[in-house]
């Protein structure tokens, strides 16, 4: 008699199925008695079936990119569609230094390998270069790098490996080290009649425009995060000759841990034109042009699953926004998130342009050097007639003002409870759903996270605030536009918009931005969804704000847009010429639209722990229960809030 179900994979379900089968056979009577020997055999059969089904399920899962969990399998599946996961990336620093020497050599060479060392967080890191750097000696001084043309040094140690080609066997060229920064790999092939280390081969990503004579190579990740180098077969890329010598140099790095060092000590090796080692006549002082940054870890499994099919679908052509997203991840490994907006979507439209905004993994701005490098590499993928422009990052911050009520009879340390709340919120703040272009801040999920931190938390009242930072051009007249991408809440009495302090030319007092919605003759909202941005100052009377400039700009509450008239801002309270402008959104679910990078600013949020006197039993009637609200009004040139 066959089983009625073949989908039961749990141990108990399998055991029940076996018993059901035996129950139909009258020759066996003790199969349902747990103390019998037959029951032990049934348990053994069920256990063996369970293990077999589990292994079969794992094997099937590992055969598909979406369900695979083991990195080696994910990488192998991505390899079949031509995707090479990003390697670790070395932190790069820009330096310059002069070397005083008594050598008669007209040139001085900084040998590849270790150049300097730097420390950060009580840890020392080595920095190297993958190729020799040669410069001219002038009056006994050799200059390596300048402020305008510095030397790029890579965090890590330079490794050298050689292979001798044997065409009689199926030979593989595997680099034995993990933690390799593949961008630093240099491959040279020395033929039988060549001198030195031979001819340098170029790394390629695909076989487009590759001929049988192209001196090129490919790389692929293999087991244990190691890499294999692949050469041509005579049709796509030059075929290797027997007894040729392959020399490969590369840097192994600490990845993102190498970010931070800014002071360096020279430890490089110098040589003359003849190859002799040269000792500097004085100590070498290293000048730091830019501290070490942009180091990153190897591409995680989730990222490989996401980008591999998208790179394959783009076929290395930048046409759609998804194409740009996947290609930029490849050419700029420090990318955390990318937004691509076509010029036709802008107001007014700018046809023939693509605007790219990139959030680096470390920091918030892409350097001018990296911008030029990215745009240069994009030309190999983009269509003719379409120009790309990289715009600076626009961050939409989400802050919260949360009053968390707790039962004091269940809490021994309020500070510890508050710390646990902050730690839980920090996990949400760092989640991939929030910190990205197109990210979404989910209000209901936030409330659930707070309530689930501890059983002593009885409820929470949480207000959501959105913020953009205005980078003021000091001491000159300028106009500004800030788009929040989310509808503003309209408070009929104003005070929905507020800012940090700043000063204006000709006004001695610190002033602030706030809003006044448009009203009709009866004093009601006129329904236009528009308002006036005013500039106010504080007065000695608490809650009163005299209006300095009633109309300093306009507010579109429906589109979440603020436009400032011409102003001459002279200083800001917040460092780096920043004015923080906050608003209450109409919806507590906040979305980072188009080129806005959504970020949950927990460090700017307010977390108040309030004793719940009702749950604690101190005030059953609730007569002393704390709740907050405010009203405001505008009259006689003053805004009042109470």
Judged against a pLDDT cut of 50, whether residue 259 lies above it is answered with yes
Q: Which domain-ending residue is among 392, 410, 440? A: 392
CB contact set of 527 (below 8 Å; sequence gap of 6+): none
- Three-state SS annotation for 526-547: CCCCEEEEEEEECCCCCCEEEE
Q: Are residues 224 and 126 in the same domain?
A: no
Of the residues 377, 392, 407, which one is the last residue of a structural domain? Answer: 392
DSSP 164-179: E--TTS---EEE--SS
Is the residue at 307 inside a domain? no
C-alpha gyration radius of the chain: 33
Q: From the CB of residue 315, how many other CB atoms can be counted at a distance below 10 Å?
A: 12
Determine phi and psi for 305, rounding to 5 degrees: -60, -35
Are the C-beta atoms of residues 475 and 640 closer than 8 Å to each other?
A: no
DSSP assigned state of 392: P
Q: Stretch 157-181: mean pLDDT, rounded?
A: 94
Residue 206 has a pLDDT of 72
3-state secondary structure 254-271: CHHHHCCCCCEEECCCEE
Percent of the chain with pLDDT over 70: 88
Q: Predicted confidence band at 613 (pLDDT cuts at 50, 70, 90)?
A: confident
| 613 within a domain of the structure (yes/no) | yes
Instruction: Kindly state the DSSP code that residue 3 receives in the 8-state scheme.
Output: -
225 plus 237 within the same structural domain: yes
Question: Is residue 201 a part of any domain in this protein?
Answer: yes
Please count the residues of the chain.
Answer: 642
- Does residue 69 sit within a domain? no
Strands (E), 76-112: 92-100, 107-110
Query: Does residue 196 sit in helix, strand or coil?
Result: coil
β-pairing verdict for 199-203 and 216-221: parallel
User: Which positions ≥6 away from 133 have C-beta within 8 Å?
Assistant: 109, 110, 144, 151
Same domain, 483 and 612: yes
- Please report which confidence band the pLDDT of residue 637 belongs to, taking 50, 70 and 90 as the band edges: very low
Secondary structure class of 470 (helix, strand, coil):
strand
Mean pLDDT in residue range 186-212: 86
Place of tokens 């704390």: 626
Last residue within a domain, chosen from 234, 252, 270: 252
- At 56, the pLDDT band (50, 70, 90 cuts) reads confident
The whole-angstrom separation of Cα 515 and Cα 496 is: 6
Q: Calculate the average pLDDT of the chain.
A: 85
Two tokens at 28? 């066996």
Contacts of 227 (CB under 8 A, 6+ apart): 87, 174, 175, 180, 182, 185, 219, 220, 221
* Average pLDDT over every residue of 390-406: 89
Residue 179 lies in a domain: yes
What tokens were used for 328? 């930029």
Cα 454 from Cα 354, distance rounded (Å): 48
Query: 560: buried, middle or exposed (CB in 10 Å: 19+, 13-18, 0-12)?
Result: buried
The verdict on 265 and 234 lying in the same domain is no
Confidence of residue 10 (pLDDT cuts 50, 70, 90): confident
pLDDT of 414 > 80? The answer is yes
Distance from C-alpha of 595 to C-alpha of 483, rounded to nearest angstrom: 10
Q: Is residue 23 part of a domain?
A: yes
- 196 lies in which domain range? 158-252
What does the block give as tokens for 639?
Answer: 């805004």
- Shared domain for 427 and 559, answered yes or no, is yes
**Does pLDDT of 633 surpass 60?**
no
Tokens 């977390």 sit at which residue? 607
- Give per-residue pLDDT as tens, 529-587: 899 999 998 876 666 778 889 899 999 999 999 999 999 999 999 998 999 999 999 99
- Strand-pair partners of 512: 536
User: How does pLDDT run across 296-345, given as a tens digit for each residue?
Assistant: 889 889 888 888 887 776 666 777 667 777 788 777 877 877 888 877 77
If asked whether residues 436 and 519 sit together in one domain, one would say yes
Please give the pLDDT value at position 642: 45
Task: For residues 467 and 546, state if they share a domain.
Answer: yes
Of 290, 288, 278, 330, nearest to 306 by C-alpha is 330
Q: What is the phi/psi pair of residue 86, to 5°? A: -65, 140
Whether residue 541 sits in one domain with residue 511: yes
The answer to whether residues 481 and 335 belong to one domain is: no
Instruction: Name the one residue in this structure whose structure tokens are 């500070």.
Output: 415
**pLDDT at residue 347 in the model:** 67
| CA separation for the pair 428, 433 (Å, rounded) | 9
Indicate the pairing of strand 394-406 with strand 596-600.
parallel
Hey, which residues does 190 pair with through a beta bridge?
Answer: 245
Is there a single domain that holds both residue 326 and residue 399? no
| 204 domain-assigned | yes
Distance CA 85, CA 106 (A): 44
In 3-state terms, the chain is what percent helix, strand and coil (to 5)? 20, 40, 40
Tell me the β-bridge partners of 463.
401
**DSSP calls for 473-514:** -TTSEEEEEEE-SSPBP--TTS-SEEE--EEETT--S-EEEE
Residues 6+ apart with CB under 8 A from 594: 339, 341, 345, 437, 485
The residue whose two tokens read 């996270």 is 449
Is the backbone peptide bond immediately before 195 cis, with ω within 30 degrees of 0?
no
Entry pTM: 0.63
Report whether pLDDT(621) > 50.
Answer: no
68-72, 346-350, 482-486: lowest mean pLDDT where? 346-350
d(Cα 177, Cα 642) in Å, to the nearest integer?
Answer: 66
Convert the pLDDT of each residue in 124-134 to its tens digit: 999 999 999 99
Nearest residue to 604 (alpha-carbon basis) of 488, 496, 432, 467 = 467
According to DSSP, residue 232 is labeled B
**Structure-derived torsion over alpha carbons of residues 146, 149, 154, 160, reported in degrees to the nearest 10:** -100
Which of 248, 335, 326, 339 lies closest to 296, judged by CA? 335
| 243's tokens | 């007894």
If one counts the domains in the chain, the total is: 5
145 and 43, same domain (yes or no)? no
Same domain for 240 and 261, yes or no, is no
Q: Is residue 1 part of a domain?
A: no
């Amino acid at each position: 008699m066959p089983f009625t179900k073949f989908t039961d994979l749990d141990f108990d379900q399998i055991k029940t199925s076996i018993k059901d089968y035996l129950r139909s056979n009258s020759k066996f009577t003790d199969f349902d008695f747990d103390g019998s020997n037959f029951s032990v055999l049934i348990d053994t059969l069920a256990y063996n079936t369970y293990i077999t089904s589990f292994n079969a399920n794992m094997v099937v899962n590992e055969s598909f990119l979406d369900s695979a969990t083991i990195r080696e399998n994910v990488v192998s599946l991505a390899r079949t569609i031509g995707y090479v996961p990003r390697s670790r990336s070395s932190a790069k620093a820009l330096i310059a230094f002069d070397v005083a020497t008594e050598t008669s050599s007209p040139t001085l060479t900084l040998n590849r390998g270790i150049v300097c060392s730097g420390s950060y967080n009580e840890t020392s890191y080595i920095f190297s270069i993958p190729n020799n750097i040669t410069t001219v000696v002038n009056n006994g001084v050799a200059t390596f790098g300048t402020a305008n043309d510095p030397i790029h040094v890579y965090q890590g140690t330079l490794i050298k490996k050689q292979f001798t080609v044997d065409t009689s066997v199926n030979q593989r060229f595997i680099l034995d080290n993990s933690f390799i920064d593949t961008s630093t790999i240099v491959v040279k092939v020395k033929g039988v009649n060549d001198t030195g280390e031979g001819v340098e081969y170029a790394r390629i990503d695909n076989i487009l425009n590759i001929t049988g004579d192209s001196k090129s190579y490919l790389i692929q990740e293999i087991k244990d995060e190691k890499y294999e180098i692949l050469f041509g077969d005579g049709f796509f890329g030059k075929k290797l000759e027997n007894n040729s010598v392959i020399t490969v140099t590369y840097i192994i790095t600490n990845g993102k841990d190498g970010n931070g060092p800014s002071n360096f000590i020279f430890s490089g090796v110098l040589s003359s034109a003849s190859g002799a080692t040269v000792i500097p006549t004085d100590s070498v002082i290293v000048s730091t042009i830019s501290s070490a940054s942009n180091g990153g870890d190897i591409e995680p499994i989730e990222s490989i699953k996401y980008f591999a099919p998208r790179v394959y679908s783009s076929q290395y052509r930048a046409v759609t926004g998804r194409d740009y997203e996947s290609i930029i991840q490849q050419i700029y490994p420090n990318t955390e998130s990318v937004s691509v907006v076509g010029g036709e979507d802008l107001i007014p439209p700018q046809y023939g342009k693509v605007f790219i905004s990139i959030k680096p993994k470390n920091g918030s701005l892409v350097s001018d050097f990296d911008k030029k490098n990215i745009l240069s590499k994009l030309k190999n993928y983009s269509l003719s007639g379409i120009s790309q422009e990289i715009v600076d990052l626009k961050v939409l911050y989400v802050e919260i003002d949360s009053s968390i009520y707790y039962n004091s009879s269940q809490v021994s340390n309020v500070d510890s409870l508050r710390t646990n709340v902050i730690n839980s919120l920090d996990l949400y703040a760092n989640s991939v759903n929030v910190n990205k272009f197109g990210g979404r801040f989910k209000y209901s999920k936030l409330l659930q996270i707070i309530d689930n931190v501890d059983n002593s938390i009885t409820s929470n009242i949480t207000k959501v605030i959105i913020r953009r930072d205005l980078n003021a051009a000091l001491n000159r007249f300028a106009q500004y536009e800030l788009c929040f991408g989310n509808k503003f809440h309209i408070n009929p009495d104003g005070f929905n918009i507020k800012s940090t302090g700043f000063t204006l030319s000709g006004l001695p007092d610190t002033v602030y931005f706030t809003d006044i919605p448009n009203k009709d003759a009866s004093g009601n909202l006129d329904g236009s969804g528009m308002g006036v941005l005013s500039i106010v100052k504080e007065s000695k009377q608490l809650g009163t704000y005299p209006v300095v400039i009633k109309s300093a700009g306009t507010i579109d509450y429906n589109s979440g847009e603020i436009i400032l008239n011409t102003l001459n801002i002279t200083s800001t309270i917040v460092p780096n010429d920043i004015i923080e402008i906050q608003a209450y959104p109409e919806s507590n679910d906040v979305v980072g639209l188009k080129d806005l990078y959504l970020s949950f600013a927990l460090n700017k949020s307010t977390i108040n722990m309030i004793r719940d006197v009702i749950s604690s039993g101190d005030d059953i009637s609730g007569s002393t229960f704390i709740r907050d609200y405010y009203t405001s009004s505008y009259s006689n040139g003053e805004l009042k809030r109470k």
